[in-house]
Structure 1
């Protein structure tokens, strides 16, 4: 054995393949032979005191060398690391290696190989060795032993593994991860993520919002050009960002990677959906005078709806808009109706919602509640029969140019409608009619409002609209109910038969 080198056999678990594990502590320096220019390494005469085998403290640094358990190929796994100021520091790191290698149960070859891989990676990348206590905890939870997994790395893994979600949901997750989560917290080790990190994330989003507001109000031309197209992030979007992170972290808990989900405890504004408001006469007057719309979700009164349908009667999309206004299917669901889904020749008249058209094409409704049967009144069924005859006439006129999609609502050659084009055409009709603005989606709210005014309860309206939860229905329409109270009271009164009563003057 060379002077100053210490060979120690590891106690603890039996090494893979039964080969002994050794440690060597020694000193080296960066000096070179003046003649050959080759590194002297441990043979530099300046490493030891003259006339003694003891090491000088003012020259060179300490190294260790270890023989780790060999890999599956049985080859020697020799590793070396230097740069320690003292031999004790090198010894302590080798002690940590020993503690890491003692974690796997006897005979757990895969576990031992995973621990060895962590040690080799830390030595090769010149990063600190993982904490044995943390790795032992991970080993007991039977999870990935790598403590270097970052939040961004896990978010990528999690999203790649979500194979059963719709494309629109996946796109929403991807946007939240790419634009909001990875830039702010992506580099944080997953197991070290805290509520404080998430509070900082949303504080930075708020600061960005304030900057955008300032630039819009008083910014220079250069600042306005830089921030052109940047949108404010509202409370509802913050909730969606947190929901994405919460789902990903819950998956990490199920896999034993973390023990607690900090996204459950960070406090941000509720971001409740906007309440629906009726376009009352007073609100219409205020809109005409100022152009202000009192809510993002506005609902026409029956009189305004009737005005619109009268104005739109010559439009190719008249029946589609009437169906949404009276019975409340979503725009994409109405565009995806197939003729076999309609029962319009004999009572009871119904429409079965089985499909929807989105920007990604045809798909099933986004929830089980979306797959539903909607009743039609006799007059609406008659309109569909007339629409069928008109479509058959267009089909004959188009000849071979006709695309046989089987859809109820098509373009002039039978192809499916683009829901975005439907939205655009609706907005043009509303403007031409001089009506207070609503979105085509708000025709669903009109259908719900008409049902409530007729005395339907929220559960019935939930089924009509295909909401997955009655809470969604209640949150949207509780502000409409007081304004409909008089109409509901009158309907209830008419349902109670009364004998004629003499009336006093």
Structure 2
């Protein structure tokens, strides 16, 4: 009998111990293993006709390129491969770590044992239900679903799955939280209270430009042109979470991870931008330059020159977390409403909008990818401008 070609498929009876036919099964070859043996996909059913129909569907998927060898891979196995792929793609270290943590802590415990090819929308729904019962926030549920969708979409591109089953699942509805910003007087009070602090200029720059925390501590003097009142955002200083350091302990326990500083590029193409500075901001940066010069002279040989605008008194880098901690303490001392460090970015946007700076310019200064995102994010801040846009012909004649 002639050997069947790949994709032609085979069918056989399923029998019990007495030899009685209890069903049928069929398979098609989807690949060759390292030892030369065939890798096959199987279907089964009670009747020959049922299995023939399933076999035709398998053959159709194989010929269309939508049937791939998953080697009975579990969701956990696939997600580990996907995270490694995102790392090889050159994604930001903290982004990859975020994917890895989400996979290991929230997705794999719920779906890890499911065979990838058997994953269904209802399984994904059960994952979200489980996270909700575990007391996880809505935002975390939404992010976990987004990560899973991204991973399964890659499985479709790799032809490991015919479709992305997570696309059929709607994310939980999130209530939009009211944006917390300072008004002009609160901004003035905070800056006044921080004038003597070594990082005062960093806070001033954050409130006048909307620069992100990592962009501030990653700013170098070579990217600042005080004569032309401009700076260019080229760097982003990030704290990268890595593997634990052998032998290192904290509170008499072995550490579960390590953290290192890394000078990276900004988070997106739009984030690499040039910002025009006000006269007051230029003056603050000149004061920072003079302050740093005095530190350098006092530190003498202990000074470490790295070219950054904001440093410690010995020239060392300022960790983003240290900047945030200093900010939190200063907010308490200033007596202004407590808002997150990132909310200073929203405050900067609010100030720009309040003085009539066009949305496109606000978007460019903040490093948004497009002006539509800026308008959506700060739509409530433009309400007053919308009211002022109403006019009558009498106002013009």
**Against the structure 1 CA distance between its residues 333 and 319, is the aligned structure 2 distance closer, same or farther, given a 3 Å change threshold?**
same
Q: Which residue of 1 aligns with 2:72?
A: 148
Is the CA contact 2:66–2:160 (under 8 Å) kept in the aligned structure 1?
no
- Aligned residue for 2:38, secondary structure, equals helix
| 1:316 is the counterpart of 2:198 | yes
Unaligned runs of 5+ in 2: 7-12, 42-53, 241-261
- Aligned residue for 1:174, secondary structure, equals helix
Offset of residue 383 of structure 1: 2.3
Superposed CA deviations along residues 339-390 of structure 1, whole A, max 9, x for unmatched, are 010000x23x101000111112211011111100011012321221222122
Superposed CA deviations along residues 116-169 of structure 1, whole A, max 9, x for unmatched, are 2559xxxxxxxxxxx866764564327642451222221111111121211111
Is the CA contact 1:234–1:271 (under 8 Å) kept in the aligned structure 2?
no
Offset of residue 329 of structure 1: 0.5
Residue among 239, 244, 249 paired with 1:359: 239
Q: Which residue of 2 aligns with 1:13?
A: 4
Residue among 187, 195, 212 paired with 1:330: 212
**Against the structure 1 CA distance between its residues 87 and 462, is the aligned structure 2 distance closer, same or farther, given a 3 Å change threshold?**
same
| 1:253 is the counterpart of 2:174 | no
Alignment partners' CA distance in 2, 1:327 and 1:14: 66
Alignment partners' CA distance in 2, 1:426 and 1:112: 58
Q: Give the alignment of 1:413-432 within 5 angstroms.
A: 413-432=314-333
Alignment partners' CA distance in 2, 1:479 and 1:357: 32
Is the CA contact 1:275–1:477 (under 8 Å) kept in the aligned structure 2?
no
Is the CA contact 1:147–1:191 (under 8 Å) kept in the aligned structure 2?
no
Q: Which residue of 2 aligns with 1:376?
A: 277
Normalised by the length of structure 1, the TM-score is 0.63
Is the CA contact 2:238–2:263 (under 8 Å) kept in the aligned structure 1?
yes
Unaligned runs of 5+ in 1: 1-9, 16-63, 65-81, 120-130, 210-232, 277-297, 499-505
Larger radius of gyration: 1
* Structure with bigger RCO (C-alpha 8 Å, 6+ apart): 2
Q: Which residue of 2 aligns with 1:175?
A: 101
Q: Give the alignment of 1:425-440 within 5 angstroms.
A: 425-440=326-341
Q: Which residue of 1 aligns with 2:356?
A: 455
Offset of residue 261 of structure 1: 1.1
Offset of residue 330 of structure 1: 0.5
**Against the structure 1 CA distance between its residues 356 and 132, is the aligned structure 2 distance closer, same or farther, given a 3 Å change threshold?**
same
Q: Which residue of 2 aligns with 1:266?
A: 169
